[in-house]
Amino acid sequence: MISLTEVPDNTPVIIGVGQYSERVGEPGYEALSYMDLAGRALGAAIADSGAAGSVAQAIDTLAAIRAFEMSRPDRKPPFGAADNVPRAIAKRVGANPARAILTTTGGQTNQQLVGEFAQTIAAGDSRCAVIVGSEAISTVLALTAKGEIPDWSEEIGGDFEDQGFGVEELLEPALFMHGASGAIPLYALAENARRHKLGMGLEQYRLEIGRLFAPFTKVAAANPHSAAPVERTAQELATITDRNRIVAEPYPRMTVARDQVNQAAAIILASAGLARELGVPQDKWVHIHAVTAATEIKLSQRPDLAANPASLASVDAALARAGKSIGEMRYLDFYSCFAIPVFNQCDHFGLAFDDPRGLTLTGGLPFFGGAGNNYSAHAIAEAVQRVRGDRGSFALVGANGGWMSKYATGIYSTEPADWSANDRFAVLPKATDKVPLAEGLVESAVVETYTINRGPKGAEAIFIGRSDAGARVVGNADLADAATAAAFESGEPFGQRLSLTQDERGRTIGRVIA
């Protein structure tokens, strides 16, 4: 085992983490822009390092996590943004990195970048790298409702690497066409597949989600950065009311990721040599024992619609590289935009919902807040603080992107990690066992899973099924047909055979065969 005094100079360590948040209407609320929130978080991370020297001037790489409103080609920030987002954030702390990056989309990005930057530092190609991001969606909505349109645009200039949107793995044209065009219905399709596998009815499964998430609300209630710091019972989360309406079966509103937040977080990595030069106290150093990243097959083509084997492989591989078991992790944060990514880990590792360690460090995305692509920076910041205060302990952070499309896992401790072989970051191979989508219209299909979107315009049922040839079929169930409506509204359309037609918009329409 390496002692702190023997840690080689090119060993990557986390030296600072910072978070910043504000809630609309509360004392001190400033209606900060994305850039200002991120700058505050990075300033907090610099202060957290306790360095005697200038961390800001030492930063040679800064990656800005793409905000939600900059995450798709067809979306633009309503109040504008900087022409060079990473350099706008750097400017707020007096940094001028040689390398500035605007990242791709995905909630796994922060965690994966920790591994990538650690690898770069270990190779001697960087000495100090920052990962920082923010969301101001709550402020945008609040100001827009009042008719206020501030100008958040900035002319910064300079060069930066635009890594693009990175949404290729997230594109599901067949699902999008039939109304599953956002995270809620896409996750609901997977969630109902798991419910069917377990033989649970809708009410029973909603209570299962409530049992999972009730302990999360307790953590969120104690977190000063939470968007919704209210402790709730499992029954409260599962009970359908006007305020807790169904958004897509089986999800009540309170159990889905909360994107209306004003939150920012930053992580600073440095070489041990630079940390010494800057006078960062060694009790601030947190070591990176493993980071792994994995990409999943597209949702509509997964052999098991309830499963996410890439995420499990990522966690397993990280634990193996760190030489640890899940039982040796004192602290856990499993990405919890919806219940199923957490359920998958619990099912795999045999974890109880009331595991005394807890399954979240922040309070989870429905309660702490789903800070867009940047949530995992908050989880990593919490993990760093936990292991600093509990020296020798280990923390695991699991980060999810898309519709369980990508996953990255990190393992952290104050115990030194040996980076001499620079082999603690790994990208896992992608599976190839995808189920083909049916080409053209087929006569019939058997329902494997479904969801019902419920909104102001009424209900829309979406299903995924199999043709007789074994190909996947995506369509809408015809809720105007009594037998079809009865099957889907009952919550038990699984195994039903549907006859398929095509409407004038080219959508596949399914009706139960009597």
The number of C-alpha atoms within 13 Å of 487 and in the hemisphere containing its C-beta is: 26
**Residues 79 and 150: beta-carbon distance below 8 Å:** yes
Q: What is the pLDDT of residues 389-446, one digit of tens each?
A: 999 999 999 999 999 999 999 999 999 999 999 999 999 999 999 999 999 889 999 9
Tokens 């899940």 — which residue?
Answer: 326
- 457 against 259, higher pLDDT: 259
Which CATH code, of 3.30.1330.80, 2.40.50.840, 2.40.30.10, 1.10.3720.10, is assigned to 444-512?
A: 2.40.50.840
Predicted local confidence at residue 380, as pLDDT: 98
Tell me the average pLDDT across 443-451. 98
Q: What is the pLDDT of residues 180-229, one digit of tens each?
A: 989 999 999 999 999 999 999 999 999 999 999 999 999 999 999 999 99
Tell me the average pLDDT across 18-24. 98
Give me the CATH code for the 4-167+258-427 domain, please: 3.40.47.10
Q: What is the pLDDT of residues 350-382, one digit of tens each?
A: 999 999 999 999 999 999 999 999 999 999 999
Q: What is the pLDDT of residues 289-318, one digit of tens each?
A: 999 999 999 999 999 999 999 999 999 999
**Residues 422 and 122: beta-carbon distance below 8 Å:** yes
**Residue in 380, 373, 399 with CA at minimum distance from that of residue 66:** 373
Return d(Cα 65, Cα 188) in angstroms, integer. 26
pLDDT at 479 over 80: yes
pLDDT bucket at 1, cuts 50 / 70 / 90: low
pLDDT bucket at 18, cuts 50 / 70 / 90: very high
Phi, psi angle pair for 439, to nearest 5° = -95, 115
Predicted local confidence at residue 3, as pLDDT: 63
Tell me the average pLDDT across 49-68. 97
pLDDT at 84 over 80: yes
**Residues 89 and 56: beta-carbon distance below 8 Å:** no
Tokens 């990508």 — which residue?
Answer: 406
pLDDT at 4 over 70: no
Predicted local confidence at residue 165, as pLDDT: 84
Q: What is the pLDDT of residues 323-334, one digit of tens each?
A: 999 999 999 999
pLDDT at 493 over 90: yes
Predicted local confidence at residue 235, as pLDDT: 98
Predicted local confidence at residue 393, as pLDDT: 98
Return d(Cα 127, Cα 116) in angstroms, integer. 13
Do 4-167+258-427 and 444-512 come out as alike in CATH topology?
no
Q: Where are the domains of the chain?
A: 4-167+258-427, 444-512
The runs of H, that is alpha helices, within 123-178 are 137-145, 173-177
Query: Cβ contacts of residue 200 below 8 Å, gap of 6+?
Result: 208
Percent of the chain with pLDDT over 90: 94
Task: Write the secondary structure of 368-413 as one string of H (helix), E (strand) and C (coil).
Answer: CCCCHHHHHHHHHHHHHHHHHHCCCCEEEEEEEECCCCEEEEEEEE
Task: Write the secondary structure of 229-275 as one string of H (helix), E (strand) and C (coil).
Answer: CCCCCHHHHHCCCCCCCEEECCEEHHHCCCCCCEEEEEEEEEEHHHH
Predicted local confidence at residue 2, as pLDDT: 65
Strand partners, 418: none
pLDDT bucket at 458, cuts 50 / 70 / 90: confident
Q: Residue 439 has what DSSP assignment?
A: P
Tokens 């499993």 — which residue?
Answer: 334
Tell me the average pLDDT across 269-279. 98
**Residues 173 and 300: beta-carbon distance below 8 Å:** no
